[in-house]
Amino acid sequence: MPLAEDRMSSLVAVPLAAATVEILLADSQRAATAGADIVEWRVDTCQHLGASPEDVIAAIRLSPLPVLLTIRHADETGAWTGSAIERCRLLQAADMAGAAFIDIEFARVGDLGAWRPERARLILSAHDFSGMGKDLGGLIARMRAAGGLPKVAVTARDAADLATIRQLLVSRTGDLIALAMGEHGMPSRLLAGVWGGFLTFARLDEQAGSAPGQPTVTELVGRYRIHAQRSDWRILGVIGSPIAHSLSPHIHNAALSQDGVPAVYVPFRVEDPMAFWMACGSWIQGLSITIPHKHALLEIVAGVEPLVTAIGAMNTIAMVNGMTRGGNTDAAAIIACVEGAAGDLRGKTVLCLGAGGVGRAIAHALASRGAKLVIVNRTHARAVELATEVGGVAVSESEAYGVAFDVLVNGTAVGMGKPQESPWPAERHRPGTVVFDTVYTPLTTRLLHDAQAAGARTVPGLDMFILQAAEQYRRFTGREPDTALMRAAALARLNPSA
Ligand code: NAP
């Protein structure tokens, strides 16, 4: 039984419902195989799908995992339409049949009268599907006084709300389940083991319906190492909006896991970065920053690298001697990508396509290495401004066709997600040059394909992504990362069927 009182980590519960007991048991076995500790059988939904509540309860003894039994009423966002007396009768039967936990909304605990489970542990739940609830501390105290293990599930409106959940958990006076629903609340589920949550919920797989922001059990157990998490683990992450597509949790957690580093890296969906940092910055030891927040936190760090100021964008906050230090690891990655293929850049002509965020990092990084920069951008005024900053030349698209470049770098978004589009005409490639495309979806863009066909040496955008992440990892952990492992984790995410 994995529910011993002396357990060190959070338990993983997988909510399940099925039309037959056979499917419910098969899904419970899948949950066990994936690493879950508990299955939550939703009797209300099972009945809605066609299974009899009595049959479900009779199957508890056959479950491969301890069962948390829930019968949520239709007016509690469940599917149960029976009477309070009938529900109480079923919960009593579940207790006798060997359920490990029985869950009922705290607002309905009066329906149980004086009855309390003899064998099962009673979970008293409160949900707020639209906000963060009120007086959660007082609510939890009343749940404990009523003899229950408290569960509060509220809805985060932004990642700053995570601070409330963390505070509840780290100051708990007994077992507590506390989580924030929604994508903004997702880290509360991923960090339950660090914050000391009694259990956390996960979906069986990608297909399984769930509360919004619920990870799969495989993600929680594998990528986020929930069973290994301890209260002294460091918390790292990436902020952005949107963030669900981010590769960073995949590659950083793969490296942290391989190196056995007591730290976990989570995706924070953040709308207001300053509010997030004020609420949560004190317990985050390293942060990657992505679109649209690369400019947002410049003023909160104690120090920044010179290139950050020049580029005007920061993609990393790391703790150095207890102080926050802002960096731009894109710049170092760009230099490594280009010099790795083209060698020493002093005196070489680099044609830069784009003057957006990445275009600025390219221009400043390569100018710092002595390259002669020629910049072309759809909005010409931005190219002029950037060329002035880096001592380069801004040209129009037609003028760019006549430039005798050694290196061509694409920093525009052209080609991203569109394998047929290229920012540069195929017939304008020059053999013997180096062509670097920062776009990495698809992995081989039309630009790279055309350049290879014309006899140019190519550098794919994934190289930059891995190198910037590797540099962040060094700053977060002080360790040298296994970049081959990081690349494999990225490729597994980008190309899951390969
Ligand atoms: P951004 O700040 O929005 O800049 C977009 C750039 O693309 C601007 O120069 C923009 O020109 C240009 N552009 C957009 N659509 C265009 C079009 N249809 N035709 C011509 N030019 C167009 O974005 P960003 O942050 O610089 O990101 C740019 C790309 O870099 C992303 O799409 C991504 O693929 C890539 N990236 C790669 C990595 C990596 O690690 N490999 C990291 C981050 C980003 P205007 O100035 O005229 O709008």
Report how far ligand 1's centroid is from the alpha carbon of 359 (Å).
7
Report how far ligand 1's centroid is from the alpha carbon of 287 (Å).
22
Among 290, 410, 412, 462, name the best residue to mutate to test ligand 1's pocket (greatest count of ligand atoms within 8 A of Cβ): 412
Position in ligand 1 atom list of the atom nearest CA 291 = 25
Report how far ligand 1's centroid is from the alpha carbon of 71 (Å).
50
Give the C-alpha distances (Å, rounded to integers) separating 474 from 267, 331, 488.
19, 15, 18
- Exposure of 181 by Cβ count < 10 A (0-12 exposed, 13-18 middle, 19+ buried)? buried
* Pairwise CA distance, residues 307 & 475, whole Å: 16
Residue bearing the CA closest to ligand 1, atom 4: 356
Position in ligand 1 atom list of the atom nearest CA 330 = 40
Report how far ligand 1's centroid is from the alpha carbon of 265 (Å).
26
Name the strand (E) or helix (H) holding 333: helix 329-342
Give the C-alpha distances (Å, rounded to integers) separating 72 from 27, 55, 259, 309, 356.
20, 17, 43, 54, 51
Q: Which residues contact 227 (CB under 8 A, 6 or more apart)?
A: 9, 10, 12, 35, 193, 221
Find the catalytic residue in 73, 294, 364, 429: 294
Strand partners, 317: 287, 326
* Pairwise CA distance, residues 386 & 360, whole Å: 7
pLDDT at 214: 84
Position in ligand 1 atom list of the atom nearest CA 355 = 9
Report how far ligand 1's centroid is from the alpha carbon of 412 (Å).
3
DSSP string, 352-407: EE--SHHHHHHHHHHHTTTPEEEEE-SSHHHHHHHHHHHT-EE--HHHHTT---SE
pLDDT at 209: 60
Q: What is the pTM of this model?
A: 0.94
pLDDT at 210: 54
Verify whether residue 330 is a known catalytic residue: yes
Report how far ligand 1's centroid is from the alpha carbon of 356 (Å).
6
* Pairwise CA distance, residues 480 & 491, whole Å: 20
Report how far ligand 1's centroid is from the alpha carbon of 424 (Å).
14
Phi, psi of 269 (to 5 degrees): -85, 115
* Pairwise CA distance, residues 18 & 41, whole Å: 9
Find the catalytic residue in 330, 406, 437, 450: 330
Among 251, 335, 378, 420, name the best residue to mutate to test ligand 1's pocket (greatest count of ligand atoms within 8 A of Cβ): 378
Torsion sign across C-alpha atoms 76, 78, 83, 87: negative
The residues lining ligand 1, judged by C-beta closer than 6 Å to any ligand atom, are: 291, 354-359, 377-379, 382, 411-414, 416, 438-440, 461, 464-465, 468
Residue type, position 320, single letter: V
Expressed in percent and rounded to 5, the helix, strand and coil fractions of the chain are 40, 20, 40
* Pairwise CA distance, residues 292 & 240, whole Å: 6
The angle, 0 to 180 degrees and rounded to 10, between the axes of the packed helices 461-477 and 483-494 is 130
pLDDT at 1: 40
Verify whether residue 127 is a known catalytic residue: yes
Find the catalytic residue in 127, 250, 348, 372: 127
Phi, psi of 213 (to 5 degrees): 85, 10
Among 238, 358, 444, name the best residue to mutate to test ligand 1's pocket (greatest count of ligand atoms within 8 A of Cβ): 358
Give the C-alpha distances (Å, rounded to integers) separating 258 from 75, 486, 495.
46, 10, 21
Name the strand (E) or helix (H) holding 267: strand 263-269
Verify whether residue 250 is a known catalytic residue: no
Asked if 79 and 45 touch (Cβ cutoff 8 Å), the reply is: yes
Residue bearing the CA closest to ligand 1, atom 14: 413
Report how far ligand 1's centroid is from the alpha carbon of 439 (Å).
8
Tokens matching residue 470: 């590797």
Residue bearing the CA closest to ligand 1, atom 40: 465
Verify whether residue 151 is a known catalytic residue: yes
pLDDT in tens, the chain (498 residues): 445 455 678 999 999 999 999 999 999 999 999 999 999 999 999 999 999 999 999 999 999 999 999 999 999 989 999 999 999 999 999 999 999 999 999 999 999 999 999 999 999 999 999 999 999 999 999 999 999 999 999 999 999 999 999 999 999 999 999 999 999 999 999 999 999 999 999 999 877 665 557 899 999 999 999 999 999 999 999 999 999 989 999 999 999 999 999 999 999 999 999 999 999 999 999 999 999 999 899 989 999 998 999 999 999 999 988 899 999 999 999 999 999 999 999 999 999 999 998 999 999 999 999 999 999 999 999 999 999 999 999 999 999 999 999 999 999 999 999 999 999 999 999 999 999 999 999 999 999 999 999 999 999 999 999 999 999 999 999 999 999 999 999 999 998 776
Position in ligand 1 atom list of the atom nearest CA 441 = 34
